[in-house]
Structure 1
Amino acid sequence: MKFVSTMALGVALAVGGVALVGVAPAVAKEKKAEAPKARNYNLSKPVRESAAASQKALEAGDTAGAITAAQAAKAAATTPDDKLISSQLLYAAAAKANDQAKISEGIDGMIASGVADPAQLSQLYAAQGKIAYQAKDMAKAAQALDMAIKSGTTDPDVYALLVDAKARAGKPAEAIALLQTGIDKQRAAGQKVPSEWYQRGIAIAYGAKLPDETERLTQQWLVDYPSPTNWRDAIITYRDLHKVDSDTDLDMLRLLRTAKGLKGERDYYEYAEAVYLKFPGEGKAVINEGVAAGMVKLAPGSNFKMMSDASNSRSAADKADLASATKAAKASANGKSAAATADSYLGYGEYAPAIELYNVALQKGGVDANVINTRLGMALAKAGRKDEAKAAFAKVTGSRAGLAKYWTIYLDNPTA
Structure 2
Amino acid sequence: MALKHFSTTAMGIALAMGGAAVMVQPANAAKKEAAPAGPKLSKEVRDPLAAAQTAIQAGDATTGAAKVAEANAAAKTDEEKYFVAAVMLDLSKIDKNPATQAAAIDALIASNRAPADQLPTLYLASGQTAYQAKNYAKAEQMLSKAIELKTNNSDAYALLVEAQARQNKTPQALQTLQTAIDKQRAAGTKVPSDWYGRGINMAYTAKMPQQTAALTQAWVKDYPTPSNWRDSLVTYRELNPMDADGQLDLMRLQRVAGALKGQGDYMEYVLATYLRYPGEAKAVLDEGTRAGVINLAKGGNAAELSGIVSGKVAADKASLGAAATAAKGPKGTGKTAVSTGDAYLGYGDWANAAEMYKLALTKGGVDAGLVNTRLGMALAKAGQKDAAKQAFAQVTTGPRAGLAQYWMIWMDQQA
TM-score of the two chains, using structure 1 as the length reference: 0.90
- Equivalent position SS for 1:398: coil
Task: Tell whether 2:22 aligns with 1:20.
Answer: yes
| 1:12-51 equivalence runs, <5 A | 12-15=9-12, 16=15, 17-20=19-22, 41-51=39-49
1:20–1:55 contact (8 Å) kept in structure 2: no
Q: Structure 2 CA distance, aligned partners of 1:125 and 1:44?
A: 28
Shift in Å, 1:114 = 2.4
SS of corresponding position for 2:185: helix
Q: Residue 313 of structure 2 corresponds to which residue in structure 1?
A: 315
Partner secondary structure for residue 204 of structure 1: helix
Contact 1:159 1:179 in 2 (8 A): yes
Q: Measure how far apart 1:201 and its partner are.
A: 0.6
> Which residue of structure 2 aligns with residue 408 of structure 1?
408
Structure 1 318/127 Cα, relative in aligned 2: closer, same or farther at 3 Å?
A: same
Name the residue aligned to 1:367. Answer: 366
Deviations 1:146-198 (A, max 9, x none): 11112221211111111111111111111111111111121112211111111
> Alpha-carbon deviation of 1:40?
5.5
Equivalent pair of 1:21/1:40 in contact (CA under 8 Å): no
Q: For each residue in 1:380-403, what CA deviation from the matched residue of structure 2 results, as whole angstroms up to 9, or x when unmatched? A: 111111122112111112111111
**Unaligned residue ranges in structure 2 (runs of 5+):** 25-35
Once the two structures are superposed, residues 93-125 of structure 1 have per-residue CA deviations (whole angstroms, 9 ceiling, x without a partner) of: 212444322111111111122222222111111
Q: Check 1:403–1:52 CA distance in 2 against 1; reply closer, same or farther (3 A cut).
A: same
* Structure-1 separation of matches of 2:301 and 2:75: 80
Which residue pairs with 2:27 in the alignment?
none
Identity across the alignment (%) = 49
Gaps in structure 1 of 5+ consecutive residues: 23-37
Q: Is the 8 A contact 2:124 2:146 kept in 1?
A: yes
Does the 8 Å CA contact 1:67/1:94 hold for their aligned counterparts? Answer: no
- For 1:244 and 1:333, the matched residues in 2 are separated by 28
What's the offset of the Cα at 1:21? 6.7
CA distance in structure 2 between the aligned counterparts of 1:139 and 1:299, rounded to whole angstroms: 61
1:34 alignment counterpart: none
The TM-score with structure 2 as length reference comes to 0.90
Contact 1:91 1:107 in 2 (8 A): yes
State the shift of 1:276 in Å: 1.2
Question: What is the deviation of 1:9?
Answer: 3.6
Tell whether 2:89 aligns with 1:91.
yes
Contact 2:23 2:50 in 1 (8 A): no
Cα distance in structure 1, aligned partners of 2:76 and 2:212: 51
Is contact 2:3-2:195 (8 Å) kept? no
Pairwise CA distance, 1:406: 0.7
Q: 1:233 Cα deviation (Å)?
A: 0.9
Q: Residue type matched to 2:8 in 1? A: V
- CA-to-aligned-CA distance 1:346-381 (integer Å, 9 cap, x gap): 111111111111111122222112111111111111
Shift of the alpha carbon at 1:57? Answer: 2.9
Give the number of the structure whose alpha-carbon radius of gyration is greater. 2
Displacement of 1:66 in angstroms is: 3.4
User: Compared with structure 1, are the counterparts of its residues 60 and 283 closer, same or farther at alpha carbon in structure 2 (3 Å cutoff)?
Assistant: same
In 2, the alpha carbon distance for the partners of 1:401 and 1:96 equals 59
Give the match for residue 306 of structure 1: 304
Structure 2 matches for 1:117-136, cutoff 5 A?
117-136=115-134
What does residue range 376-387 of structure 1 map to in structure 2 within 5 Å?
376-387=375-386
C-alpha distance in structure 1 between counterparts of 2:91 and 2:267, whole Å: 64
Report the residue type matching 2:247 in the other structure. D
The corresponding residue for 2:215 is 217
1:116 paired residue number: 114
1:89 counterpart SS class: helix
Cα deviation code 1:180-223 (max 9, x no counterpart): 11111211122111111111111111100111111111111111
CA contact (8 A) 2:2 2:194 kept: no
Post-superposition shift, 1:92?
Answer: 1.7
Cα pair distance change 1:355/1:135, threshold 3 Å: same
Classify 1:56/1:381 alpha carbon distance in 2 versus 1 (closer, same or farther; 3 Å): same
Question: Of 227, 233, 236, which aligns to 2:234?
Answer: 236
Write the letter of the residue equivalent to 1:412.
D
Contact 1:133-1:165 at 8 Å conserved across structures: yes
Shift of 1:257: 0.7
